[in-house]
A and B are shown apart, each in its own frame.
Chain A
């Protein structure tokens, strides 16, 4: 089907969504999924209506960080599922823990269809958890949702970070995506003074309780008060900045 067809379909699916927050990074493993899930829960706890979309097609893990032991297995009538007070869609709902060895055209089409397959209800924020970099999973949502989106960059203050994050920012800028700012993760470990051309939204130290929670199948946000405190502040700052 044509670009216009998908533009029409995806536009109608996201019509009632006020703001899309795309959680991106240059490198892998810096804490995007941790930020996506905790931020969603913190925004929810402020009484906002929040959706979470997992677009990390090969490495979807939002269900683990939400502490879902039995994720829903079926989409009812084109609606996202409801978990823990969040409207939610992830490949896990479609294929459980099966591997999705997608490439090329099939991957591109999977991203488009994940954007097109459910009608999101009235939402203050829809948070999208992205894989690292700026492949299909990032560029396709930008193509269709640019006008109501804001990128939140997750990075670490280490020597390799700078050039990778700079390239990501370059792409976001050339695509005219607004950037809410960067969150520096593991801030007590990585302390290099990076000068980036974007605002700093906040810093998150390594929080020990997180790994313990995950290894027992729990949500770090629910288990760890420190996580809730950090994200309560971050949520407030994001709310301010996302109105950019």
Chain B
């Protein structure tokens, strides 16, 4: 769970943008996109963003979180699959609940670690692409 540290860096980065004159008008809305793979606790992240913005030029900024499915495509056979398939497969493969939780936590902290736990459901290759929902990104910054 590192929602607070993520929020802290998002706020710091936006404030730097404002201070350095990259944005002259007040920021009205910030849209953040996050892939399912990152397993963000959305409520916590939003709460943290609001708390950390208090008494700053971001006080009135609205933060919007958009969750995006994570989609994989095999470079070997072309098959595509999504985050839910990964979770189901993990449940099948690893019976120990605590261990499964630990692996999911690993992917939350370092999303690339998915490459240790996932392979193409059709051909078994680990040479796959994450074509959508890999990361967290700021999709839009809207001013007045």
Contacts and interface: CB of A to CB of B under 8 A. Distances in A.
B5 A106 contact: no
B2 A117 contact: yes
Interface string A88-104: 00010011001111100
A9 interface: yes
B105 A74 contact: yes
Interface stretch (B49-57, B60-68, B112-120): B112-120
Given A4-B13, A107-B112, 17 more contacts: A4-B16, A6-B9, A12-B8, A13-B5, A73-B99, A73-B102, A78-B1, A94-B110, A95-B113, A95-B117, A98-B116, A98-B117, A101-B115, A106-B112, A110-B112, A113-B110, A117-B2
A86 B48 CA distance: 31
A98 B134 CA distance: 21
A12 B16 CA distance: 15
Contacts of A48: none
A163 interface: no
Interface of A: 1-2, 4-6, 8-9, 12-13, 73-75, 77-78, 91, 94-95, 98-102, 106-107, 109-110, 113-114, 117, 119
A94 B113 contact: yes
Given A1-B138, A98-B116, A98-B117, A8 B9 contact: yes
A77 B106 CA distance: 12
Given A1-B135, A9-B9, A12-B9, A110 B116 contact: no
Interface of B: 1-2, 5-6, 8-10, 12-13, 16-17, 99, 102-103, 105-106, 109-113, 115-117, 126-127, 130, 134-138
Contact of B102 (A4, A12, A74): A74
Give the secondary structure class of B's interface: helix
A106 B6 CA distance: 19
Contacts of A98: 116-117
9 contacts: A1-B136, A4-B13, A5-B9, A9-B8, A73-B102, A75-B106, A94-B110, A100-B112, A101-B126
Contacts of A99: 116, 126
A117 B2 CA distance: 8
Return the 7 tightest CB-CB contacts between A and B, nearest first: A110-B112, A95-B116, A94-B106, A9-B9, A113-B110, A98-B116, A117-B109
Contact of B115 (A8, A74, A102): A102
Nearest to B102: A74
